[in-house]
Amino acid sequence: MAHLGVAALAGEYHSVVARAAAVRADALGLPFLCSSAVLDALTEQPTEWVARLAPAQSHGWQIYADFLLGAGHSRIAVAAQSSVYWSSGVRILRDYLAPRGGTVIELDMRALTPTAVCDELVDNRATALLLLVGHPEPAVSIVKSVRRDQRLAEIMIGAPAGQPEFAEWATLLGEDGSAVPFLRYLPERLGPLGARVETALRERLGNAPSFVAFEGYDTVAVLADVLRSHGADRARTAESWPRVAVEGTRGQIRFSRTPGISVWQWAWTPVQVVDRDPAEPDRFRILHAS
């Protein structure tokens, strides 16, 4: 990138990949606008070169934890794979829930089959199971196993990372994939720009766009504004992050410094907890919003 005349980097990267990209961009002095990744520690040290549109994981997942407590869940199991992202999620949930009377029971998916997960849920008297695992597998197999276990008829399945957002989830799971609350980053109502973009994306994609599509549009809008205003000079682009004021699809985008976050952050990203409506799996219900 250093030798290609690149002015800035944008990406629909997700957390583990985005962290590697952010560290490299910081080392090269290359402005990087991160669209989707939420991992708090995108870089080990504060950097002027990286800005982010998605909310930090600690912010979104604490909102999800509030939703769980409000729904009456205090014994919460997490089926977790081994990665920096999932480990961070477990830690956020445990740190937030424990002082509020919640218990987080970690189920190591390196050692458990989907059937064994069901046994663990019964033995631990869990009332909610969160899927901190990859999609489609093992997430789909876990959901199918839990839904078919009569002992777990009352358990809530949740997926804070957003696996049920995508159409493949409904295709693979059908009715079993409904009523699985997850996080998405949209306002309760889109403004005029968001509504126009949604219509255009729906026509192009053939179905309703995910929140990731809006993140992508907003990324391009911010970078286009910055480059129009400041040209292609990398240093000037990085210096402009705190002065950005762009109307995005989900609201006015401004970056600021947030305690504990090493990059420039859009502090007011809207956050919802939603699920697929059991009666109409192609529709989403808002269960909780920031």
What's residue 282's pLDDT?
75
Measured CA to CA, the distance from residue 200 to residue 43 in angstroms comes to 35
What's residue 219's pLDDT?
96
- CATH of 58-183, picked from 3.30.70.100, 3.40.50.2300, 3.40.50.620, 1.20.1050.10, is 3.40.50.2300
CATH code that applies to domain 9-55+190-266: 3.40.50.2300
Which residue stretches of the chain are H helix? 15-28, 57-70, 84-97, 114-123, 139-147, 167-173, 192-205, 211-230, 234-240
Reference 158, options 187, 186, 126, 205; nearest CA is 126
At 182, the amino acid letter reads F
Task: Judge if pTM exceeds 0.85.
Answer: yes
Asked if 9-55+190-266 and 58-183 have one fold, the answer is: yes
Question: By CB neighbour count within 10 A (0-12 exposed, 13-18 middle, 19+ buried), where does 206 fall?
Answer: exposed
At 6, the amino acid letter reads V
Measured CA to CA, the distance from residue 144 to residue 220 in angstroms comes to 38
What's residue 55's pLDDT?
95
Measured CA to CA, the distance from residue 258 to residue 266 in angstroms comes to 9
Beta bridge partners of 34: 11, 52
Placement of tokens 């777990």 in the chain: 152
What's residue 4's pLDDT?
66
3-state secondary structure of 164: helix
Measured CA to CA, the distance from residue 49 to residue 44 in angstroms comes to 13
Beta bridge partners of 130: 78, 158
Measured CA to CA, the distance from residue 285 to residue 287 in angstroms comes to 6
Measured CA to CA, the distance from residue 109 to residue 248 in angstroms comes to 39
Q: Where are the domains of the chain?
A: 9-55+190-266, 58-183
At 255, the amino acid letter reads F
What's residue 243's pLDDT?
96
Mean pLDDT by 10 residues, the chain (290 residues): 76 84 95 94 94 95 98 98 95 98 97 97 98 96 98 98 91 94 95 97 90 94 94 95 97 94 92 91 88
Measured CA to CA, the distance from residue 290 to residue 76 in angstroms comes to 22
Q: Kindly list the strands in the beta sheet with 128-132, ordered across the sheet, starting from the edge strand earlier in the chain.
A: 103-108, 75-80, 128-132, 156-158
Beta bridge partners of 247: 252
What's residue 140's pLDDT?
97
Measured CA to CA, the distance from residue 202 to residue 225 in angstroms comes to 25
